[in-house]
Structure 1
Amino acid sequence: MFVDSHCHLNFPDLAARLPEVFAKMDENAVSHALVIGVSVPAFPEVLALAEAHERLHATVGVHPDDADAAEFSEAELVAHAAHPKVVGIGETGLDYHWCKGDLTWQHERFRTHIRASRATGLPLVIHTRESAADTLAIMREAGAEAGVMHCFTENREVARAALDLGFYISFSGIVTFKSAQELKEVAKMVPLDRMLIETDSPYLAPVPFRGKTNEPGFVKHVAEHIAALRGLPLEAVAEATRRNFFDLFAKIPRPAGV
């Protein structure tokens, strides 16, 4: 069985065809998916999905790509995190690809999420793009305690630093791309007991679906590629990443035998 640790099922490409999405999950033995909060206006959609479907859970957060986005205060994040289906804080972090200039606002937004994570004990879901040094610096300075570096695309040194801080590393369909040679080396290096897999759907569909709309059922192909890279049975990667998911997002009821 597989788990998709990061997806956006409330986005239109997927929300309009949920029965088909769930059928594809069943076809590919994907038991659970984590639906990620990225904005204040969309959080009710994310939460409604999690409330309506036993196999879905949610996070609460504001993505770091929009300076003008409405903000959750620390108190609001903590309050939403009390909901039984909200199991993590984020997506949060830093993004220097889309955002330029004075990014004090982005740093403060990240710190707010870290404080909420510390207050609730829920793990962080961290986005970092072209900002690894500052992301790690703020994690250290603000005392980030637990979470996952989602859709990891950095090098071995950044991965080691995140692992040293106690974080998990999550691989998306990018690891299957021919051009992602450095990332493949990271996937060989990260300990199995600190690895997650995800789709980040509807984006970043893995080979052989690259360029198409991604969905949670495709997470199996991420696991297959990592297993091949490491010379492991697919079951070893599936079992480890599934166990890690329930270890990290411990608020989710743990299935028997995991």
Structure 2
Amino acid sequence: MKSTLRLIDTHLHLASEQFNEDRSAVILRAIDAGVAAMIEIGYDLASSHAAVALANAHPAVFAVVGIQPNHLHDLPGDWIDQIRRLAAHPKVVAIGEIGLDYYWMKSPPSEQDAAFRAQLALAGELGLPVVIHSRDAMAETIAVLRDAARGPGIMHSFSGDWAAAQECLELGFYLSLSGPLTFPKSVALHEVARLAPADRLLIETDSPYLSPHPHRGQRNEPSRLVYIGQKLAELRGQTLDALAPQLWQNTLHAFPRLSTALG
């Protein structure tokens, strides 16, 4: 039976090779589960092109294009112009995922900072929100956003504590919560979910990664967004049916082009 929910998965990677055998079926399962729209995220030039192609092929899929900090090596000289051209597509709803990653540190901090700022500037030029990737670099990410951000923006798979969340909220950013919210030991994240303003929360799967409980360790897919939504509702003393309209409106406000398409 098709769900009566209306949810939006704000961050996923359906172009991943892990979906090569059943991508269309995965999208249909998501729609049947109540995930009415999915936002495919680029992280390098190839995946950004793939995101636009996927959005072209599936009415329920939209795209975000950008270069993630772990994919800055071997970029052509015109990479920022390529992202600019891709962003002109009407189903591209943001620039991302962009930011800083000091866990993998595949590029020096100075190079990460320069690419981050260049894409923030591009988003400002185009009037698009940004989707932020930050790993082991929350303070540095917030410092760059405070200096250079052009809101609104989304903190992808937010994993910080309430103090970090407050700083992001003060900058006008939305907090997008993913599978770890459902893990029993994610105590700090549970506090964020309870305390954050209702109108600044989003949910995502980051498929095929970060599968929620009770599917932890398996390939994730967008139909499992429901588990994340249910946990968020539980933490806030609500039902998902009651919370879903708020999450829908939050996502449309965070991604204005999506609002134009979905109403």
Tell me if TM exceeds 0.5. Answer: yes
* C-alpha contact 2:132 2:153 (8 A) present in aligned 1: yes
Deviation at 1:149, TM superposition (A): 0.2
Q: Of residues 160, 172, 179 in structure 1, which corresponds to 2:178?
A: 172
TM-score by length of 2: 0.93
1-structure distance, mates of 2:245, 2:202: 11
Q: Could you tell me how far apart the structure 1 residues matched to 2:203 and 2:107 are?
A: 33
Tell me which of 136, 139, 158 is aligned to 1:130. Answer: 136
Q: Superposed, which structure 2 residues align to 1:155-166 within 5 Å?
A: 155-166=161-172
Matched, 1:26 2:28: no
In structure 2, which of residues 58, 65, 73 is the aligned counterpart of residue 60 of structure 1? Answer: 65
Shift of 1:141: 1.3
- Over 3 Å counting, the alpha-carbon distance change for 1:14 and 1:137 in structure 2 is same
> 1:48 corresponds to which letter in structure 2?
A
Report the AA paired with residue 250 of structure 2: N
Residues 99 and 133 of structure 2 are in contact (CA less than 8 Å); yes or no, is this contact kept in structure 1? yes
Secondary structure of 1:116's aligned partner: helix
- Does residue 46 in structure 1 map to residue 43 in structure 2? no
Query: Conserved in 2, the CA contact under 8 Å of 1:169 and 1:194?
Result: yes
Name the SS for the 2:133 alignment partner. strand
| Separation in structure 2 between the aligned mates of residue 108 and residue 215 of structure 1, nearest angstrom | 33
Higher helix content, 1 or 2: 2
Structure 2 unaligned residues grouped into runs of 5+: 1-5
Q: Distance in 2 between matches of 1:215 and 1:97?
A: 25
Cα pair 2:72 2:107 within 8 Å, conserved: no
> 1:155 and 1:75, CA in 2 relative to 1: closer, same or farther beyond 3 A?
same
Partners of 1:167 and 1:116 lie apart in 2 by 17
Gaps of 5+ in 1: none
Supply the distance in 1 between the matched residues of 2:46 and 2:82 (Cα, whole angstroms).
13
Q: Residue 105 of structure 1 aligns with which residue?
A: 111
Q: Which moved more, 1:173-182 or 1:245-254?
A: 245-254
The C-alpha deviation readout for 1:185-239, integer Å capped at 9, x for no partner, is 1111111101100000000001111111101110011000011111112123211
What is the identity, as a one-letter code, of the residue corresponding to 2:262?
P
CA distance in 1, matches of 2:186, 2:254: 26
Deviation at 1:8, TM superposition (A): 0.1
Q: Is the 8 A contact 2:43 2:71 kept in 1?
A: no
The question of 1:255 aligning with 2:262 is answered yes
Per the alignment, in what secondary structure is the counterpart of residue 9 of structure 2?
strand
2:218 to 202, 212, 217: 212
Counterpart AA for 1:36 = I
Fraction of identical pairs, as percent: 37
CA distance in 2 between partners of 1:110 and 1:242 (Å): 28
Change (3 A) 1:100 1:90: closer
TM-score, length basis structure 1: 0.94
Change (3 A) 1:254 1:240: farther
Contact 2:13–2:208 under 8 Å retained in 1? yes
Alignment match, 1:86 = 92
Q: What do the CA deviations read for 1:35-74 (whole angstroms, capped 9, x no partner)?
A: 0011112222111100011110101101111341426644
Once superposed, which parts of structure 1, at least 4 consecutive aligned residues long, lie more than 4 Å away?
A: none
**How many angstroms apart in 2 are the aligned matches of 1:69 and 1:223?**
38
| 2:12 alignment partner in structure 1 | 7
Q: Distance in 2 between matches of 1:223 and 1:42?
A: 27
TM superposition shift of 1:142: 1.3
Match of 1:152 among 151, 154, 158: 158
* Partner SS for 2:262: coil
1:117 aligns to what? 123
Which whole-Å CA distance do the structure 1 matches of 2:121 and 2:45 have between them? 18
CA distance in structure 1 between the partners assigned to 2:45 and 2:90 by the alignment? 19
> Structure 2: how far apart are the matches of 1:102 and 1:42?
22
What letter corresponds to residue 227 of structure 1 in structure 2? A
